[in-house]
């Protein structure tokens, strides 16, 4: 598989917005669930949002209403639009992919079930 590659991270002030992108060449939409995860220093990696092969989306409670996950199948790209960012959103953000049948019913929380990961992009939110 071609590696997953995230981009779009950066530093913003609280209340600001960022959009992350993930190049997902080879991860066909009708076979794979795609997810965004994050890991802050000293904390476990956690699920943020996921989009399943049928287009259903799910979000962690902490970001619901502020973040939007989407995918452009023609561009083989996964997105995470982040609005009203808070300092507690500061983390390394990762995209991940897994066969839909492996993660069905477990997203967005199922970090261990995803086997394909990008290298991450840093998001820093200052107060």
50 and 57 Cβ atoms separated by less than 8 Å: yes
Report the chain's mean pLDDT, rounded to a whole number. 95
CA–CA distances in Å: residue 27 to residues 6, 38, 95, 127: 14, 20, 12, 37
Residues 9/19, Cβ–Cβ less than 8 Å: no
pLDDT at residue 1 tops 80: no
Q: Reply yes or no on whether the pLDDT at 6 is more than 90.
A: yes
Provide the pLDDT for residue 91. Answer: 98
**Model pLDDT for residues 79-126, shown as the tens digit of each residue:** 999 999 999 999 999 999 999 999 988 888 888 899 999 999 999 999
CA–CA separation, 46 vs 109, rounded Å?
6
């Amino acid at each position: 598989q071609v590696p997953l590659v995230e981009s779009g991270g950066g530093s913003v002030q609280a209340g600001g917005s960022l959009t992350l992108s993930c190049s997902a060449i080879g991860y066909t939409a009708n076979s794979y669930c795609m997810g965004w995860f994050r890991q802050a220093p000293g904390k476990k990696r956690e699920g943020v949002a996921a989009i399943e092969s049928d287009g259903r989306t799910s979000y962690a409670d902490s970001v619901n209403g502020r973040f939007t996950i989407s995918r452009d199948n023609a561009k083989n790209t996964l997105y995470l639009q982040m609005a009203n960012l808070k300092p507690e959103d500061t983390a390394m953000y990762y995209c991940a992919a897994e066969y839909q049948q492996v993660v069905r019913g477990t997203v967005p929380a199922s970090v261990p079930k995803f086997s394909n990961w990008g290298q991450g992009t840093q998001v820093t939110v200052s107060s």
